[in-house]
C-alpha cells in the first residue's frame, strides 16, 4: 500500500523528469491512497507552478485519482494526532526535514494506514517514514 504525496501527484500529472519512476513505484505499491489535503495541495501546486486555473487543476486531479483507482484516506482524530506529532518531531523550524502542514498530514495518513509514502524531494527522507520502493 502506498500513500501518494502531493509532490508525487504533481510530478505524475505534469510528466516531470521523474514521473516514469514514480509511476512504476505507484504501480508496485498498489493499492494507492490519497487524502483531501494531498489533493488540495496538488491543486494549489498546479495553480502556483504550472499556471492551471483552479477548476482545471481540480478536474485533472480528480481524473488522476480515478485513473489510478486511489482510495481516499479520511482525516480523523488518529491522523490529527500523528500530524501534530510529525510537526513536533520533523516540522519546519524544528527539524532539517522541515515538514509543512501538507507533509505532516501525508506522514500521518501513511502511518495510520501502515503504508509507504510516494514522494519526491528529500524532506521525508530525513524522517522515519517508510518510502515507496
Per-residue pLDDT tens for 42-62?
999 999 999 999 999 999 999
CA-nearest of 2, 78, 82, 70 to 36 is 70
DSSP annotation of 131 reads B
Q: Which CATH superfamily is domain 2-120 in?
A: 5'-nuclease (3.40.50.1010)
Tell me the C-alpha distance between 119 and 117, whole Å.
6
Sequential DSSP letters for 59-122: HHHHHHHHHTTPEEEP--HHHHHHHHHHHHHHBTTTSTT-B-HHHHHHHHHHHHTT-EEE--SS
**Global pTM value:** 0.96
Q: What percent of the chain has pLDDT over 70?
A: 100
**How is the chain split into domains, by residue range?**
2-120
What average pLDDT does the segment 12-33 reach? 97
Per-residue pLDDT tens for 74-115?
999 999 999 999 999 999 999 999 999 999 999 999 999 999
Tell me the C-alpha distance between 24 and 37, whole Å.
23
Amino acid at each position: 500500500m502506498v500513500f501518494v504525496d502531493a509532490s508525487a501527484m504533481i510530478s505524475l500529472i505534469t510528466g516531470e523528469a521523474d514521473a516514469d519512476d514514480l509511476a512504476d513505484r505507484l504501480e508496485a505499491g498498489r493499492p494507492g491512497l490519497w487524502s483531501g489535503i494531498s489533493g488540495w495541495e496538488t491543486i494549489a501546486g498546479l495553480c502556483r507552478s504550472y499556471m492551471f486555473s483552479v477548476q482545471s487543476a481540480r478536474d485533472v486531479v480528480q481524473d488522476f485519482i480515478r485513473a489510478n483507482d486511489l482510495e481516499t484516506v479520511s482525516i480523523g482524530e488518529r491522523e490529527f494526532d500523528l500530524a501534530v506529532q510529525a510537526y513536533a518531531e520533523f516540522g519546519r523550524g524544528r527539524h532539517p526535514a522541515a515538514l509543512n502542514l501538507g507533509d505532516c498530514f501525508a506522514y500521518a495518513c501513511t502511518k495510520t494506514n501502515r503504508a509507504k509514502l510516494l514522494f519526491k524531494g528529500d524532506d521525508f527522507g530525513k524522517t522515519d517514514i517508510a518510502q515507496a520502493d
